[in-house]
Amino acid sequence: MSSPEGYAPRDGVLEEQTWPAMRDGDWPVALVPFGATEPHNTHLPYGTDTIMGREVAARVAAACAAQGVRVVALPAVPFGVNTTQLDLRFTINIMPSTQLALLRDVVKSLEPHGVRALVLLNAHGGNELRALVRELQPSTPIVLSIVNWWQAGDHGVFESAGDHAGELETAAIMHVAPHLVVPDRNTWGDGHAKASVFDGVRSGWAWMPRRWTQVTADTGVGNPREATAEKGAAFVAQAVERIAAFCVQLAGADPNAMWADP
Ligand SMILES: [Zn+2]
Protein backbone atom coordinates (compact mmCIF):
# COMPACT_ATOMS: atom_id res chain seq x y z
CA MET A 1 0.00 0.00 0.00
CA SER A 2 1.31 3.47 -0.81
CA SER A 3 0.05 6.99 -1.30
CA PRO A 4 1.33 10.21 -2.83
CA GLU A 5 2.29 11.33 0.69
CA GLY A 6 4.59 8.33 0.99
CA TYR A 7 2.64 6.36 3.62
CA ALA A 8 3.76 2.80 2.99
CA PRO A 9 3.55 0.36 5.91
CA ARG A 10 4.29 -3.14 4.68
CA ASP A 11 1.56 -5.81 4.84
CA GLY A 12 1.69 -7.73 8.10
CA VAL A 13 4.78 -5.97 9.46
CA LEU A 14 3.54 -5.30 12.96
CA GLU A 15 5.91 -2.52 13.95
CA GLU A 16 4.80 -0.55 10.88
CA GLN A 17 1.07 -1.24 11.06
CA THR A 18 -1.83 0.38 12.91
CA TRP A 19 -4.30 -1.29 15.20
CA PRO A 20 -7.21 -1.01 12.73
CA ALA A 21 -5.13 -2.76 10.10
CA MET A 22 -4.44 -5.69 12.38
CA ARG A 23 -7.55 -5.81 14.56
CA ASP A 24 -9.91 -7.88 12.45
CA GLY A 25 -9.87 -11.09 10.51
CA ASP A 26 -7.70 -14.15 10.72
CA TRP A 27 -3.94 -14.05 11.25
CA PRO A 28 -3.12 -17.75 11.37
CA VAL A 29 0.68 -17.50 11.27
CA ALA A 30 3.21 -15.27 13.03
CA LEU A 31 6.94 -14.93 12.47
CA VAL A 32 9.35 -13.79 15.16
CA PRO A 33 12.86 -13.01 13.95
CA PHE A 34 15.75 -13.80 16.31
CA GLY A 35 18.81 -11.62 15.64
CA ALA A 36 22.00 -10.74 17.48
CA THR A 37 24.24 -7.78 18.30
CA GLU A 38 27.85 -8.68 17.56
CA PRO A 39 30.79 -7.70 15.33
CA HIS A 40 30.60 -9.01 11.75
CA ASN A 41 34.14 -8.97 10.37
CA THR A 42 35.32 -5.41 9.62
CA HIS A 43 32.76 -4.52 6.96
CA LEU A 44 29.24 -5.42 8.18
CA PRO A 45 27.25 -3.80 10.99
CA TYR A 46 26.66 -5.18 14.49
CA GLY A 47 22.99 -5.53 13.63
CA THR A 48 23.51 -7.74 10.58
CA ASP A 49 21.56 -10.70 11.95
CA THR A 50 18.72 -8.54 13.27
CA ILE A 51 18.49 -6.62 9.99
CA MET A 52 18.36 -9.83 7.97
CA GLY A 53 15.80 -11.49 10.24
CA ARG A 54 13.56 -8.43 10.16
CA GLU A 55 13.82 -8.01 6.39
CA VAL A 56 13.29 -11.65 5.51
CA ALA A 57 10.25 -11.75 7.84
CA ALA A 58 8.77 -8.65 6.16
CA ARG A 59 9.29 -10.12 2.70
CA VAL A 60 7.79 -13.43 3.74
CA ALA A 61 4.72 -11.63 5.10
CA ALA A 62 4.37 -9.75 1.79
CA ALA A 63 4.78 -12.92 -0.26
CA CYS A 64 2.10 -14.66 1.81
CA ALA A 65 -0.24 -11.66 1.52
CA ALA A 66 0.13 -11.89 -2.25
CA GLN A 67 -1.13 -15.48 -1.95
CA GLY A 68 -4.07 -14.42 0.21
CA VAL A 69 -2.61 -15.66 3.49
CA ARG A 70 -2.14 -13.19 6.32
CA VAL A 71 1.14 -13.65 8.14
CA VAL A 72 2.16 -11.21 10.85
CA ALA A 73 5.87 -10.41 11.12
CA LEU A 74 6.62 -9.52 14.74
CA PRO A 75 9.43 -7.13 15.67
CA ALA A 76 12.86 -8.75 15.67
CA VAL A 77 14.57 -9.73 18.91
CA PRO A 78 17.78 -7.68 18.63
CA PHE A 79 19.91 -9.72 21.05
CA GLY A 80 21.07 -13.29 20.70
CA VAL A 81 23.15 -15.89 22.49
CA ASN A 82 26.80 -14.79 22.29
CA THR A 83 28.32 -16.32 25.40
CA THR A 84 31.70 -16.97 23.73
CA GLN A 85 32.11 -13.55 22.08
CA LEU A 86 31.89 -11.34 25.15
CA ASP A 87 35.53 -10.30 24.83
CA LEU A 88 34.56 -8.51 21.59
CA ARG A 89 33.52 -4.99 22.43
CA PHE A 90 29.78 -4.26 22.53
CA THR A 91 28.72 -7.77 21.84
CA ILE A 92 25.45 -8.01 23.75
CA ASN A 93 24.64 -11.49 25.00
CA ILE A 94 21.39 -12.85 26.30
CA MET A 95 21.38 -16.29 27.90
CA PRO A 96 19.41 -19.21 26.45
CA SER A 97 17.35 -19.13 29.66
CA THR A 98 16.49 -15.45 28.98
CA GLN A 99 15.52 -16.37 25.44
CA LEU A 100 13.26 -19.09 26.80
CA ALA A 101 11.53 -16.65 29.17
CA LEU A 102 11.05 -14.14 26.37
CA LEU A 103 9.68 -16.69 23.93
CA ARG A 104 7.30 -18.05 26.56
CA ASP A 105 5.85 -14.56 27.03
CA VAL A 106 5.59 -13.94 23.28
CA VAL A 107 3.75 -17.24 22.81
CA LYS A 108 1.37 -16.48 25.68
CA SER A 109 0.69 -13.04 24.18
CA LEU A 110 -0.21 -14.57 20.82
CA GLU A 111 -2.47 -17.33 22.12
CA PRO A 112 -5.67 -15.27 22.57
CA HIS A 113 -5.43 -13.72 19.10
CA GLY A 114 -6.05 -16.68 16.87
CA VAL A 115 -2.46 -17.33 15.84
CA ARG A 116 -2.17 -21.04 15.17
CA ALA A 117 1.48 -21.31 14.17
CA LEU A 118 4.56 -19.36 15.21
CA VAL A 119 7.74 -19.59 13.17
CA LEU A 120 10.97 -18.67 14.93
CA LEU A 121 12.87 -17.04 12.08
CA ASN A 122 16.45 -17.41 13.20
CA ALA A 123 19.29 -15.30 11.82
CA HIS A 124 22.13 -16.15 14.24
CA GLY A 125 23.97 -19.45 14.59
CA GLY A 126 24.40 -19.07 18.35
CA ASN A 127 20.63 -19.04 18.85
CA GLU A 128 19.92 -22.71 19.47
CA LEU A 129 16.17 -22.52 19.52
CA ARG A 130 15.28 -26.20 19.43
CA ALA A 131 15.59 -26.69 23.17
CA LEU A 132 13.23 -23.74 23.66
CA VAL A 133 10.64 -25.22 21.35
CA ARG A 134 10.96 -28.63 22.96
CA GLU A 135 10.29 -27.06 26.36
CA LEU A 136 7.41 -24.79 25.31
CA GLN A 137 5.49 -26.86 22.77
CA PRO A 138 3.68 -29.09 25.30
CA SER A 139 2.21 -26.03 27.05
CA THR A 140 0.78 -24.16 24.05
CA PRO A 141 -1.71 -24.97 21.28
CA ILE A 142 0.32 -22.78 18.89
CA VAL A 143 2.38 -24.94 16.55
CA LEU A 144 6.02 -23.90 16.99
CA SER A 145 8.69 -24.31 14.32
CA ILE A 146 12.14 -22.97 13.51
CA VAL A 147 13.59 -21.70 10.25
CA ASN A 148 17.24 -20.72 9.95
CA TRP A 149 16.78 -18.26 7.13
CA TRP A 150 20.31 -18.73 5.78
CA GLN A 151 19.63 -22.44 5.21
CA ALA A 152 16.43 -21.88 3.22
CA GLY A 153 18.12 -20.90 -0.05
CA ASP A 154 20.46 -22.79 -2.36
CA HIS A 155 24.09 -22.19 -1.37
CA GLY A 156 25.18 -23.05 -4.93
CA VAL A 157 24.89 -19.35 -5.83
CA PHE A 158 28.04 -18.73 -3.75
CA GLU A 159 31.67 -19.71 -4.28
CA SER A 160 31.87 -20.39 -0.56
CA ALA A 161 28.86 -19.36 1.54
CA GLY A 162 30.89 -19.08 4.73
CA ASP A 163 29.55 -18.93 8.24
CA HIS A 164 29.79 -15.57 9.97
CA ALA A 165 30.05 -12.40 7.84
CA GLY A 166 31.18 -14.61 4.97
CA GLU A 167 30.10 -14.48 1.34
CA LEU A 168 26.43 -15.35 1.97
CA GLU A 169 25.82 -12.89 4.77
CA THR A 170 27.81 -10.15 3.07
CA ALA A 171 25.90 -10.59 -0.18
CA ALA A 172 22.60 -10.54 1.69
CA ILE A 173 23.39 -7.24 3.43
CA MET A 174 24.73 -5.78 0.17
CA HIS A 175 21.27 -6.52 -1.21
CA VAL A 176 19.02 -5.35 1.64
CA ALA A 177 21.14 -2.60 3.27
CA PRO A 178 23.93 -1.58 0.87
CA HIS A 179 24.37 1.70 2.73
CA LEU A 180 25.69 -0.28 5.73
CA VAL A 181 28.48 -2.20 3.98
CA VAL A 182 31.97 -0.69 4.18
CA PRO A 183 32.63 0.19 0.53
CA ASP A 184 36.39 -0.45 0.31
CA ARG A 185 36.80 -4.21 -0.09
CA ASN A 186 40.51 -3.92 0.60
CA THR A 187 39.68 -3.23 4.24
CA TRP A 188 37.53 -6.36 4.63
CA GLY A 189 39.05 -9.14 6.70
CA ASP A 190 39.50 -12.49 4.94
CA GLY A 191 37.42 -14.32 7.54
CA HIS A 192 40.07 -16.98 8.04
CA ALA A 193 39.06 -19.36 10.83
CA LYS A 194 41.30 -21.81 12.66
CA ALA A 195 40.26 -25.43 12.87
CA SER A 196 39.74 -27.26 16.13
CA VAL A 197 42.72 -29.23 17.46
CA PHE A 198 40.34 -32.09 18.26
CA ASP A 199 39.76 -34.80 15.61
CA GLY A 200 36.21 -35.38 16.82
CA VAL A 201 35.28 -31.71 16.55
CA ARG A 202 36.76 -31.45 13.05
CA SER A 203 34.84 -34.59 12.04
CA GLY A 204 31.61 -33.14 13.38
CA TRP A 205 30.65 -35.85 15.90
CA ALA A 206 31.98 -33.86 18.84
CA TRP A 207 31.04 -30.27 19.47
CA MET A 208 32.09 -27.40 21.68
CA PRO A 209 31.40 -23.69 21.34
CA ARG A 210 34.09 -21.67 19.60
CA ARG A 211 36.04 -19.11 21.61
CA TRP A 212 35.68 -16.49 18.92
CA THR A 213 38.90 -14.55 19.52
CA GLN A 214 40.92 -17.77 19.37
CA VAL A 215 39.33 -18.82 16.09
CA THR A 216 39.40 -15.67 13.96
CA ALA A 217 41.36 -12.43 13.90
CA ASP A 218 38.74 -10.24 12.20
CA THR A 219 35.66 -11.87 13.85
CA GLY A 220 34.59 -13.24 10.46
CA VAL A 221 34.33 -16.93 9.56
CA GLY A 222 34.30 -17.28 5.79
CA ASN A 223 35.80 -15.09 3.10
CA PRO A 224 33.41 -12.33 1.97
CA ARG A 225 35.46 -11.29 -1.09
CA GLU A 226 33.26 -12.86 -3.79
CA ALA A 227 30.03 -11.41 -2.39
CA THR A 228 27.83 -9.32 -4.70
CA ALA A 229 24.44 -7.68 -4.26
CA GLU A 230 23.15 -9.79 -7.19
CA LYS A 231 24.02 -13.05 -5.43
CA GLY A 232 22.40 -11.68 -2.29
CA ALA A 233 19.22 -10.78 -4.18
CA ALA A 234 18.98 -14.23 -5.75
CA PHE A 235 19.58 -16.04 -2.48
CA VAL A 236 17.23 -13.90 -0.39
CA ALA A 237 14.47 -14.21 -3.02
CA GLN A 238 14.75 -17.98 -3.00
CA ALA A 239 14.80 -18.18 0.79
CA VAL A 240 11.77 -15.87 1.04
CA GLU A 241 9.84 -17.91 -1.52
CA ARG A 242 10.50 -21.16 0.33
CA ILE A 243 9.76 -19.77 3.78
CA ALA A 244 6.55 -18.18 2.46
CA ALA A 245 5.47 -21.53 1.02
CA PHE A 246 6.11 -23.09 4.44
CA CYS A 247 3.98 -20.40 6.11
CA VAL A 248 1.14 -20.86 3.62
CA GLN A 249 1.21 -24.59 4.34
CA LEU A 250 1.23 -23.92 8.09
CA ALA A 251 -1.77 -21.61 7.75
CA GLY A 252 -3.86 -24.44 6.34
CA ALA A 253 -2.45 -27.29 8.40
CA ASP A 254 -4.43 -29.41 10.83
CA PRO A 255 -2.36 -29.62 14.04
CA ASN A 256 -3.58 -33.19 14.51
CA ALA A 257 -2.57 -34.32 11.03
CA MET A 258 0.87 -32.87 10.37
CA TRP A 259 2.64 -36.16 9.72
CA ALA A 260 1.78 -38.51 6.91
CA ASP A 261 3.28 -41.25 4.82
CA PRO A 262 4.71 -39.84 1.58
ZN1 LIG B 1 25.50 -12.87 11.30
250/39 Cα distance (integer angstroms): 34
Examine the pLDDT at 2 and tell me if it is beyond 90: no
Radius of gyration of the chain (CA): 19
CA of 126 from ligand 1 middle (Å) equals 9
CA of 155 from ligand 1 middle (Å) equals 16
Examine the pLDDT at 26 and tell me if it is beyond 70: yes
- The answer to the question of residue 109 being in a domain is yes
SS3 205: coil
> Total domain count for the chain?
1
- The answer to the question of residue 122 being in a domain is yes
- The answer to the question of residue 5 being in a domain is no
CA of 50 from ligand 1 middle (Å) equals 8
Residue-wise pLDDT tens digits, 42-94: 999 999 999 999 999 999 999 999 999 999 999 999 999 999 999 999 999 99
CA of 175 from ligand 1 middle (Å) equals 15
Examine the pLDDT at 117 and tell me if it is beyond 70: yes
Helix 167-176 and helix 48-66: axis angle, to 10°? 60
Q: CATH number for the domain including 87?
A: 3.40.50.10310
- Are 157 and 235 spatial neighbours (Cβ–Cβ below 8 Å)? yes
CA of 140 from ligand 1 middle (Å) equals 30
Cβ within 8 Å of residue 144, ≥6 positions away: 107, 117, 118, 120, 133, 136, 137
Residue-wise pLDDT tens digits, 149-192: 999 999 999 999 999 999 999 999 999 999 999 999 999 999 99
- The answer to the question of residue 49 being in a domain is yes
CA angle 72, 77, 80 (to 5 degrees): 140
- The answer to the question of residue 81 being in a domain is yes
- Enclosing domain of residue 115: 14-251
235/233 Cα distance (integer angstroms): 6
